[in-house]
């Protein structure tokens, strides 16, 4: 690790992010995947009953329709479908496969579900300290 970003600066960025999410975020339930290793070998054949989750109450800030410019600033390049970007407080780490459940009043009408799966973690401009982390989310599909 270098001293390019002093720890005091990293701590300040973390607290700014946490205050922003606390003020502007919406309440949701997050279901953190607790057994990712058990489903890795099953791939696309993993069933919902193979997964176990732990539930937490948190706040999330969601950008439902980011612009291409905003995505480029995050290091994402999309051609057709624009991803949904979710920001959480810095203390929260979510493995891929976890999901969030949001009250329908906060969800745009084009989505008919209230559960969104974490599909990828995005770390913006990381050198030696992770200043902020956001996630790409997608409507959760649960087989019937």
Domain ranges of the chain: 7-139
Q: Inform me whether the pLDDT recorded for 144 exceeds 60.
A: no
For the domain covering 7-139, report its CATH number: 2.40.10
* Nearest residue to 88 via CA among 64, 107, 62, 113: 62
pTM, two decimal places: 0.81
Which residues is 29 bridged to in the sheet? Answer: 57, 101
C-alpha distance from residue 5 to each of 2, 12, 45, 129 (Å): 8, 11, 43, 7
Kindly report, residue by residue over 4-38, the tens digit of the pLDDT.
778 888 888 888 888 888 899 999 999 998 888 77
């Amino acid at each position: 690790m270098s001293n390019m970003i002093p720890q005091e600066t990293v701590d300040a960025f973390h607290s700014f992010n946490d205050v922003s999410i606390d003020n502007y975020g919406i309440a949701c339930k997050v279901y953190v995947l607790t057994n990712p290793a058990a489903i890795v070998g099953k791939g696309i054949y993993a069933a919902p009953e193979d997964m176990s989750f732990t539930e937490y109450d948190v706040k999330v800030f969601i950008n439902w329709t980011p612009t291409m410019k905003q995505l480029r600033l995050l290091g994402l390049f999309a051609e057709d479908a624009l991803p949904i970007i979710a920001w959480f407080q810095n203390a929260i780490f979510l493995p891929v496969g976890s999901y969030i459940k949001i009250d329908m009043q906060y969800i745009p009408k084009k989505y008919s579900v209230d559960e969104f799966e974490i599909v990828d973690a995005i770390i913006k401009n990381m050198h030696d300290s992770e200043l902020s982390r956001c996630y790409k989310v997608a409507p959760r599909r649960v087989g019937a």
